[in-house]
């Protein structure tokens, strides 16, 4: 089985919120973009959090918009074996160095976990270094909640950016 590797962190010293996914799915890896699957609700959810349009922007502009508002992105898993895109299929994961990154961010207020796998694996690594917030996954595979329900939960991020 082929190991899949994630992307570098998108973060700067102004980050107040760090959003951590598990590991990019097939569509994101093929696009070379965080949340590159057009069915993934991440960018739409963040539009609600930031009250700003993100979906119409080019990818680089989306990232700049997040950074300018104090939001960084990364994943809990640096690389793993996984056929397809489902978190349940992840095998032999190697973690990103979350502790070093978190310790390097002087303005960080909260680590937000995008989904249950990120929360379960990342929560162990983050420990009590900083506040954490576990949110329902933005993935199209996580259909247990409607977009509206997810959007309501994700609005909690805005409190940490105020």
Dihedral (C-alpha) 74, 79, 81, 86: value to the nearest 10 degrees? Answer: 0
Q: What share of the chain is helix, strand, coil (3-state, %, to 5)?
A: 35, 20, 45
Q: Does 114 participate in catalysis according to the annotation? A: no
Distance of CA 139 to the CA centre of its chain: 10
What's the token pair of residue 15? 């980050």
Catalytic pick from 40, 96, 107, 114? 40
Which residues are annotated as catalytic? 40
């Amino acid at each position: 089985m082929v190991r899949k590797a994630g992307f570098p962190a998108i973060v700067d010293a102004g980050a107040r919120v760090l959003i951590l996914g598990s590991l990019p799915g097939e569509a994101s890896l093929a696009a070379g973009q965080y949340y590159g699957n057009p069915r993934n609700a991440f960018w739409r959810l963040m539009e609600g959090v930031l009250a700003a349009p993100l979906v119409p922007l080019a990818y680089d502009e989306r990232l700049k918009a997040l950074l300018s508002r104090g939001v960084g992105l990364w994943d809990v898993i640096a690389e793993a074996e996984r056929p397809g895109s489902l978190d349940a299929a992840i095998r032999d994961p190697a973690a990103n160095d979350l502790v070093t990154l978190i310790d390097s961010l002087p303005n960080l207020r909260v680590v937000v976990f995008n989904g249950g796998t990120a929360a379960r694996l990342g929560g162990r690594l983050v420990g009590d270094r900083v506040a954490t917030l576990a949110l329902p996954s933005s993935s199209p595979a996580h259909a247990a909640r409607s977009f509206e329900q997810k959007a309501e939960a994700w609005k909690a991020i805005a409190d940490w950016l105020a």
